[in-house]
A and B are shown apart, each in its own frame.
Chain A
Amino acid sequence: MSIETKMAWRNIWRNPRRTILTICAITFASVLLVFMLSFQFGSYETMINTSVKISTGHLQVRSERYQKKKNIRFVISDPHKIGGLLDTIPEVDAYTFRGQAFALISSKDRSYGTLVTGIEPDREARVSRLKKLVREGNFLTPADNNGAVVGKLLAKNLRVSIGDELTLLGQGRDGSFAATVVRVKGIFSSGLDEFDRSAVQIPLATFQDTFSMGRAVHEIVVIGRSLSDVSAIKARLQADLSALDDRKTLQTFDWQELMPGLRQAIEMDLISGLIFYGLLIIVVAFSILNTFLMAIFERTKEFGVMMAIGTTPRRLTKILLLESMTMTLIGILAGICLGIGVTYYFQVHGIDFAGGSELLSQFGITGRMYPKLSFLSVSIGPFMVLFFTLLAALYPALKVRRLRPVEAMTAI
Chain B
Amino acid sequence: METFLDLLSVSILISAFILTATKRINTYIKTFQFQSLLLVVATFALGVYNLLTEGYFDILLLSVVIFILKVIYIPRLLHNTYTKVEYKVEKDFFINIPSSVLICAALVILTYYSLQSIDSLLSGHIKFYLVNSLSVVLIGLFFMITRKKAIGQIVGFLVLENGMFTTAMLSAHGMPVIVDLGILVDLLTAVMIMGMLVFKINERFDSINIDRLRNLRG
Indicate whether A and B interact. no
B interface with A by C-beta (< 8 Å):
none
Residues of A bordering B, CB below 8 Å: none
